[in-house]
A and B are shown apart, each in its own frame.
Chain A
Amino acid sequence: MSIVLVGVNHKSAPVELRELLAFSEEACTAGLRTLVDGQIVREGLIVSTCNRVEVLSAIAPEQLNEGADRIIDFLSGSRNVPREFFQQHVYHHTDDEAVRHVFRVASSLDSMVIGEPQVLGQVRRAYSLALEAGTAGRVLNRLVHHAFRVAKRVRSETGIAANAISISYMAVELGRKIFDSLKGRTVMLIGAGEMAELSARHLVNAGAARVLIANRTEETAERLAQEFGGEAIGLNELSDHLAEADIVICSTGAPGYVVTESIAREALEKRRNRPAFFIDISVPRNIEPAVGELPNTFLFDIDDLEAVISSNIREREREAERAELIVNSEIMQFQQALRALDIGPTIGALRQKLQEIAKLELARQRTRLGPLTKEQEAAIEALLVATVNKISHPVLSQLRRSYDASDADTIQAWRDIFGLEE
């Protein structure tokens, strides 16, 4: 059985086209039932997310071309998009390359943002839809489970998901680097922009206990205070409360410095030199750069954060190279497993058939032999088993060789010779 993958993703096709080809969950199960006909396409699964629409299928090796064609037809027909529209954007992988693609997708190596965690859940969902439709069989079951394993390995053995690559999450990561745990920390928001709010949310989720909000419009401050169970403070009270804050996120639209070096120094003294972390995501900057030079005070402005993020992305890309090695080694393992899966029943059936013939013949001739001792009887049985094994051994070896060479015709020929049913 060959594995074929046909699809489009964010690299091969524009979003307009991906939208057209996308499947809802209902369309997915219904579509799978029409696609998988048991003749050409034996098994099928559809992964449809905002970044990709892919049809994964198991097809008999001699019908590869018809199979791929059928999938394109299916996409065109069921999505009501003419073939010419999308054909040049479609990629098409067979066997090892298809397996590689599935492993890479599940491990988030093919994602727009390398290492993002959602895609694995999406693959999981696609698989359960295929199970629901009854179109995931022996080959795809094994492939998808193997892909889950690869994704797990990649996640735990490489750092592709290790470092933050969004500004809002950066606050948590750097906060942890400075304070170890964020449990019980106090966060102060100066200005309540969307990014500041998101950062605060991440910090609270990571354990921050108290949120102070200073904002020009008091309603916004009150609303956020309610949401986070925090306190709204006036902008003029800022310097009184600054000493309480471990993490300060500043994002006002003010034209000048809201936090000057002198009030930060004062706060630091009140904090008895405990470390403080300032994040300034406003442009123009609202925290005087000299604040960053105070001892035990760490100041990051928007450029600093962007620089860290791009270095983290590079780090993820480096880790992705190591992930590719894991994928390579897993492809080999998967092929071996699949081979054993396929050739196993043939070999088993053949062995059984030959042994049965021997047993039958023995039973037929047994009466002619007269009374025998237990040892003699055992010896005759052993003789038959050994003879059958010796004769069938070269046949089985040949079968395995044909299988290793993906020579389905020879395997079928042997099956025919010995009259083994499918």
Chain B
Amino acid sequence: MRPLLLAVLAAYVVAAIHAVLAFVNKRRSLQQVSDWSMAVGFLLHTAALIADWVIDGHYPLFYLRETLSFLGWTLVATYAVVLYRYRAQALGAFTLPLVTILTFLALLIGSRDNTAVEAGGFSTSWLFPVHTTLLLFAYAAFFVVFSASIMYLLQERALKLKLFGAIFHRLPSLAAVNEIASIAATIGLTLLTLGIVAGMLWSSARDGRLWHNDPKEIFAGLTWLLYLLLLVYRSTARWQGRRAAWIGVAGFALVLCTFFGTRLMGGYHVFG
């Protein structure tokens, strides 16, 4: 549904620009424009995904273009939840530009990547879409951890060095970003665990093997370990605050490796 996705892109561009302006300038009216255009974009995006599903006949999360678009959709959904729960509008200045880029790339790639494996073989089991969907939501949660960690580090530095720029006043409090990061990490890890388990079940049903040792799986395993470590240490109060935030940033680097692992290194996983 290309025309629909174009409309989605337009709405996200407006939302992203206003979110960044609201972040720099702190204007309530700008924030409202951002919120509303994001809501419109999200509804259209949902419609576009459903339309793709109906028209193409497979779950719209297989080709690279679909994955990018779907990832954008999960990011918006996750941001909306955080916005509702914490009023952390600053997160929009991080999330919405990324979502815009993802949507743009999805449009740019268009239908050129249908050269990949036929989707038919993958859509036979319901486990495959569950596997991919869970993992994309896990990535979105980890992006929230990453953004919140960056906000934590920026503010902690400002408070320690007593350097207060304009941006300092726009960020949510230390306690708030700390809580957001910690909850998002818990949710992300849960989704990652479930996603990996779903993938293993699917794979064992397909060819009897749970693990293929391909780069994507290895990185996913490392990511899983890192976030587990983060949560364990957080709960024992050893890694509060700054150190936890650094792990949140480092963890996202691993997430990126996991996401792009196959592209760079090949292996059993095709994509998504």
B85 within 8 A of partner (CB): no
B58 at the interface (CB under 8 A from A): no
Cβ–Cβ contact B26 & A275, under 8 A: no
Task: Say whether A180 contacts B169, CB under 8 Å.
Answer: no
Interchain CB contact under 8 A, B162 and A178: no
Interface stretch, picked from B94-102, B123-131, B237-245, is: B237-245
Judged by a CB distance under 8 angstroms, whether A177 is at the interface is: yes
**A304 interface residue per 8 A CB criterion:** yes
Tell me the total A-B contact number using a CB cutoff of 8 A: 57
Residues of A within 8 A of B43 (CB): none
* One of B12-20, B170-178, B189-197, B251-259 contacting the partner: B170-178
- Interface status of A205 (Cβ within 8 A of chain B): no
Contact B241 A275 (CB under 8 A): yes
- Name the A residues within 8 Å of B112 (CB-CB): none
Q: Does A308 contact B (CB under 8 A)?
A: yes
What residues of chain B lie closer than 8 Å to A179, measured between beta carbons? 173-175
Docked CA distance A67–B242 (Å): 67
* CA–CA, A273 and B175, complex, Å: 13
Tell me the chain A residues, 129-170 only, with Cβ under 8 Å from chain B.
Answer: 156-157, 159, 162-163
**B173: chain A residues within 8 A (beta carbon):** 176-180
Q: A193 an interface residue at 8 Å Cβ cutoff?
A: no
Whether B174 contacts A275 by the Cβ 8 Å rule is: yes
Instruction: Return the contact of B162 from the options A163, A180, A308 (Cβ within 8 A).
Output: A308
B26 A159 Cβ-Cβ under 8 A: yes
Other-chain contact of A274, B159, B172, B240 (Cβ < 8 Å) = B240
Question: Which residues of the other chain, B, contact A308 by a CB distance below 8 angstroms?
Answer: 162, 164
119-178 of chain B: CB within 8 A of chain A: 155, 159-160, 162, 164, 166, 169, 172-176
Residue B27 lies at the interface, judged by CB distance under 8 Å to chain A = yes
Q: Which residue of B lies closest to A178 (CB)?
A: B174
B169: contacting residue among A163, A181, A274, CB under 8 A: A163
User: Which chain B residues border A296 with CB–CB below 8 Å?
Assistant: 240-242
Minimum Cβ distance to chain A for residue B177 (Å)? 9
Residue numbers in B under 8 Å from A163 (CB-CB): 169
Find out whether the CB atom of A295 lies under 8 angstroms from the CB atom of B241: yes
Cβ contact within 8 Å between A298 and B166: no
CB-defined contacts of B243 to chain A, threshold 8 Å:
295
What's the Cα separation between A308 and B164 when bound, in Å?
7
Question: Residue A61 at the B interface, CB < 8 A?
Answer: no
What is the interface of chain B, defined by CB distance below 8 A to chain A?
26-29, 155, 159-160, 162, 164, 166, 169, 172-176, 237-238, 240-243
**Further pairs besides A157-B29, A180-B176: 6, Cβ < 8 Å:** A157-B27, A177-B174, A272-B240, A273-B237, A273-B241, A311-B164
Q: Which 6 A-B pairs rank lowest in CB-CB distance, beginning with the nearest?
A: A272-B237, A180-B175, A180-B173, A273-B240, A296-B241, A304-B162
